[in-house]
Amino acid sequence: MRPVYAVAGGVSKFTKARPDKTFPAIVKEAYDYAIADLGLTHRQFLEIVDGSVASY
């Protein structure tokens, strides 16, 4: 086997304030965009990818 890398990105709606959503919901929004960018469903992503979502 050889390593395979999937690179994708997702950005949530960026505004000064998001009173309509919690921080975890905003992170999930970006995460969902990144998975869609790969062309995968959430289940497929979990089956083949070992990684993490980080924040700074």
In a domain, 40, yes or no: yes
pLDDT of residue 48: 79
Q: pLDDT tens, 3-51? A: 777 677 666 676 777 788 888 888 888 888 888 888 888 898 888 776 6
Please give the tally of structural domains in the chain: 1
In a domain, 12, yes or no: no
Contact 30, 10 (CB under 8 A): yes
Burial string for 30-49 (b: 16+ CB within 10 Å, else e) reads: bbeebbeebebeeeebeeee
* This prediction's pTM: 0.56
Contact 10, 33 (CB under 8 A): yes
Q: How confident is the model at residue 53 (pLDDT cuts 50, 70, 90)?
A: low
| Measured distance CA(17)–CA(47) in Å, rounded | 35
pLDDT of residue 54: 62
Domain, as residue range, for 37: 19-50
In a domain, 9, yes or no: no
In a domain, 27, yes or no: yes
